[in-house]
Structures are given as structure tokens and as C-alpha cells.
Amino acid sequence: MVLLGHIDTVPGEISVRVARSPLSPHSQVLFGRGSVDAKGPLSAFVDAVAGCGAMPGWQMVVIGAVGEEQDSPGAQHVLPLYHPEAAIIGGPSGWERVTLDYKGSAWVLLMVRRSLSHTAGQDESAYEAVLRAWETIKAKAAVLNLEREKAFNRLQLSLRGMDSGGDGFEEWASLRVGARLPLDLPPQRWYEQLSGDPQLAGIPGISFQPVGFNIHKSHLSDPLRLIRMLVAARLAYLWMVCQGLWVIAEKKTGLIDRTDRIDKSLFRLGLDWIKFALKRNLDVEPIFRFQPVLSNVNVRKRKK
């Protein structure tokens, strides 16, 4: 099983410091490059694997990949190294939320090359042609989205970069186009639609180059099996979170608290309780309801 997080940082210099949170006078915030964006899930992965320990027949791999916000070079590097039965992706959804689905993204470098045209002539330049291609793609996305009210089900386009140049004989212009894809439009089909569109193909000198992660090269080739695995993983995660809330509401945290740390996630509380109950032949029933608890009940002081 692969547990994949990412360790991206933003460019620039940000001094590392701990300061009082502007949202809560009783909380502190860590500032610095790389201090946010999915560091919580990555830490939870490490904690969970360390807590589970060795399991016969299983290899648990925790990965902090780079470039998640760009071309996913980290994920592409590890893709041929592991063929996992399951992969769990950590994202910054908030400790109180469970992400059931996440829209995939597909980037493409759209380029037009053609002979240099004189500025006094009426020929379309490469720069004008690439903008015409962008407008064509946006119009087709608008048609696709007509009957789709929810943003999650829509094809969402964004223009992420542009460049141009020439050598005196030939000119070229390129656009870097990002697309957030709905579930019924996988990346490979999106790329095929772009390259096979008659309007776009009618623009002389146009080309499309996929950028980033190519899902069709992965080993997750059976959609039905993948969907079933994801449904089971979501239900199991919800069960653990609800079980953790139950542990707090029933004041049973003292039975499963570790002595060398002062806090656990709701998921970890639920998982530890299941292990505790199974070892002692206690009855365990799946819980899928959220228990009302006090807002500060999960704050525990270190025992002296």
C-alpha cells in the first residue's frame, strides 16, 4: 500500500517562526516555507504506519512527493517503482472533512508554429492563431457544461502561461492550458478530443503536448475495481472518524491513549479503539453517525 503525500513549498524567503494565531488567541501557528499544504496528512501517514507496525504480507510505503502543484515529477518518478494494491492520497481537506472525490487535472502545451508574416499583410499570425485556439476550446467547454450545475461535474479551464518567439523566418506562440476534469472525462480522452477536434485541427501549425501525469500509464486499469476499493476506503475512514468521536463522547480515551504523546486524530482514536476491542473480544458495531462533543474535549494535557 502506498500512502502518497507531497512536500511542495512556495518560492521566496519566509522567516521561520511560531506566532499566535490571528484566529484564536489560545493557538499558535508555524510560519515558514513548506509549513502548510498537506503536511497534516503526510504526518498522519507516518503516524499511522508507525502505529500499525509490521504486517505479514504487506509493505507500507509513505512518500512525500515533490511538484504536486506543477507537473507531478515526484509521482511520476515513483510510478514504475511500486505496483500497490491500493494508494491513498493525502490532501489538505481539513481535519473535520473527508474528501470523497477529487477532480483530476490535465495540462497541455498548445503551440502554433508558422512562417513569419509581414505586419502589413492580412495573414493570421501564430499569436492570433493560438488565441483563436484558446477561444475555441473555451467555447467547447461551455457547451459541455450547459447541463451541469455543480462545479464538480463541470470542465473547468484556466490559462496558466503563455510564451512566444521567432527566429526571423518562423514565429511561434504557445499557451499552457490547465483543465480540471469531471469524472466522466479522463485525461487521455480529453487529450484525444483536443487533437482530434476538426476546428482545432484546421488551424495550420497547431500541436498539443500533454504536460504532467499520464494516468493511462498507471497500473490502475480496472475502473470498477478501483471504484469498489475507493468506496470501501471511504466507508472505513468514516467509520474510524465516527468511532473516534464515540470514544471521546463515552470518555474512553484513557483506555487507548499513548503516554508519549498528548493528542491523536479522530481517525487514530477510532482505529485504536477497534484494535483494543478486538483484542479483548468486545462487541464492535460500525458507527456512521457523528457524536456531539464539547469543542475543547480533544485537548489533553500530558500526565505527570
pLDDT attached to residue 298: 43
Q: Give residue 7's pLDDT band: very low, low, confident or very high (50, 70, 90).
A: confident
Q: Is the pTM of this model over 0.85?
A: no
pLDDT attached to residue 304: 43
When comparing pLDDT for 97 and 88, which is higher? 88
Instruction: Describe the strand order of the beta sheet including 104-115 as a list of residue ranges.
Output: 156-166, 170-181, 104-115, 206-211
pLDDT attached to residue 296: 47
Least reliable range by pLDDT among 132-136, 176-180, 234-238? 234-238
Contact 270, 289 (CB under 8 A): no
When comparing pLDDT for 110 and 248, which is higher? 110
Largest separation between any pair of C-alpha atoms in the chain: 87
Q: What is the mean pLDDT of residues 63-75?
A: 76
> The CATH number of 104-217 is which of 3.30.450.150, 3.30.1020.10, 3.30.70.360, 3.40.47.10?
3.30.70.360
Of the candidates 120, 122, 128, 139, the residue with the CA atom closest to the CA atom of residue 205: 128
Of the candidates 80, 147, 137, 149, the residue with the CA atom closest to the CA atom of residue 110: 137
Contact 107, 174 (CB under 8 A): no
User: How confident is the model over 145-164, as pLDDT tens digits?
Assistant: 998 998 889 999 999 999 99
pLDDT attached to residue 288: 80
Q: What is the mean pLDDT of residues 38-60?
A: 86
Q: Measure CA 190 to chain center.
A: 19
Looking at the chain, which residues constitute the CATH 3.30.70.360 domain(s)? 104-217
Instruction: Tell me the residue type at 294.
Output: L
Distance in angstroms (rounded) separating the CA atoms of residues 148 and 301: 49
SS3 call for 178: strand
Distance in angstroms (rounded) separating the CA atoms of residues 80 and 265: 32
User: How confident is the model over 163-210, as pLDDT tens digits?
Assistant: 999 888 899 999 999 999 998 888 888 999 998 999 999 999 999 988
Q: Give residue 302's pLDDT band: very low, low, confident or very high (50, 70, 90).
A: very low
Spot the catalytic one: 13, 37, 47, 68. Answer: 68
Q: Measure CA 248 to chain center.
A: 30
Spot the catalytic one: 8, 37, 171, 272. Answer: 8
CA atoms within 13 A of residue 1's CA, in its CB half-sphere: 17
Q: Is 70 exceeded by the pLDDT of residue 130?
A: yes
Distance in angstroms (rounded) separating the CA atoms of residues 114 and 105: 29
pLDDT attached to residue 95: 64
For the four alpha carbons of 274, 276, 277 and 280, in that order, the dihedral sign comes to: positive
8 is catalytic: yes
Q: What is the mean pLDDT of residues 44-60?
A: 88
